[in-house]
């Protein structure tokens, strides 16, 4: 079981890595300083420090740059429905997205959040039986195109897991959809509390 999921994870990571490399072959390298200038319109919600100003707005600080870029592409293409995000992403070029991603990725990670200790322990257990770490990293720090979950807003994580479980949020290759499908509401609360408690 474990082996099957991790092999799948590695294949997925390798696939997206390659497809992004070929897409970006002719592009200028990402420029975090230029990204900070381009991200001015994002600060009102995601903060200059990459910390969302309210619980439904995700932290972007220390997210893997490829994860930020890929989500922006999905908003722009309207594959992911995120309220204001589609209109905001519509005006961004691929290079803008890479520069903005480099800026937010370079910022210090969000602080760990305190929470109910039993829920956090339960979340950690579910995470290990469901192999969430095989994709999101040992400390949920994210990697490649896979989001950082550590220190993320608990409310945001709950919403996203429910949307992915129901299919309201499409995921790029179905692997996250199958990971979320078997989770109960209680499991989701516990996983979100655990992720938020990590730094
Ligand atoms: C009006 C508030 C607002 C502004 C301004 C805004 N965002 Fe967002 N952003 C949100 C909300 C709300 C979500 C969560 C959407 C959802 O529920 O799926 C989000 C989600 C995201 C995500 C997905 C994060 C993840 O972990 O999947 C990225 C990336 C992002 N925004 C980048 C940006 C960038 C870059 C800008 C500036 C060009 C920007 N946002 C401007 C409100 C905003
Ligand atoms: C096979 C790899 C894989 C596994 C296993 C996996 N994930 Fe994911 N996860 C992803 C990918 C890829 C995405 C991005 C999906 C997309 O937007 O297309 C994602 C997205 C997410 C998001 C949305 C993050 C954001 O910032 O919007 C959450 C929350 C999440 N996963 C939690 C979990 C939890 C909890 C588990 C274990 C039950 C888990 N994942 C297992 C690959 C995985």
pLDDT tens-digit series, residues 107-152? 999 999 999 999 999 999 999 999 999 999 999 999 999 999 999 9
Q: Which residues of the chain have pLDDT under 50?
A: 1-22, 25
**pLDDT of amino acid 7:** 40
pTM for the full predicted model: 0.91
**pLDDT of amino acid 40:** 97
Going from N- to C-terminal start, the domains of the chain cover 31-105, 117-196
Q: Which CATH superfamily is domain 117-196 in?
A: Cytochrome c-like domain (1.10.760.10)
Residue nearest to atom 34 of ligand 1 (CA): 42
Q: Is the CB of 147 under 6 A from ligand 1?
A: yes
Query: What's the N-to-C CA distance of the chain in angstroms?
Result: 28
Residue nearest to atom 36 of ligand 2 (CA): 132
Q: Is the CB of 148 under 6 A from ligand 1?
A: no
**pLDDT of amino acid 26:** 62
H helices present in the chain, as ranges: 2-23, 32-38, 43-46, 65-76, 85-90, 94-105, 117-129, 132-136, 154-166, 175-181, 185-196
Look up the CATH architecture of domain 31-105: Orthogonal Bundle (1.10)
Cα 89 to averaged position of ligand 2 atoms, centre (Å): 21
Ligand nearest to the CA of 133: 2
Pocket test for ligand 2, best of 147, 163, 190 (most atoms within 8 A of CB): 147
Do the domains 117-196 and 31-105 match in fold? yes
Ligand nearest to the CA of 60: 1
Cα 132 to averaged position of ligand 2 atoms, centre (Å): 7
């Amino acid at each position: 079981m474990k082996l099957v999921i991790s092999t799948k994870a590695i294949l997925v990571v390798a696939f997206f890595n390659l497809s992004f490399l070929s897409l970006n072959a002719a592009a200028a390298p990402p420029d975090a300083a230029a990204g900070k200038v381009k991200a001015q319109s994002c600060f009102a919600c995601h903060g200059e420090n990459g910390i969302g100003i309210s619980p439904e707005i995700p932290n972007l600080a220390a997210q893997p740059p490829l994860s930020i870029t890929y989500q922006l592409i999905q908003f722009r293409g309207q594959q992911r429905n995120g309220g204001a995000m589609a209109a905001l992403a519509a005006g961004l070029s691929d290079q803008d997205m890479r520069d903005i991603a480099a800026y937010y990725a370079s910022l210090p990670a969000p602080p760990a959040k305190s929470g109910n200790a039993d829920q956090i322990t339960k979340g950690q257990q579910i995470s290990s039986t469901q192999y969430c770490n095989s994709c999101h990293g040992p400390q949920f720090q994210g990697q490649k195109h896979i989001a950082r979950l550590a220190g993320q807003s608990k409310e945001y994580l709950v919403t996203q897991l429910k949307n992915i479980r129901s299919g309201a949020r499409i995921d790029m290759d179905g692997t996250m959809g199958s990971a979320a499908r078997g989770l109960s509401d209680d499991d989701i609360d516990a996983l979100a509390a655990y992720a938020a408690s990590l730094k």
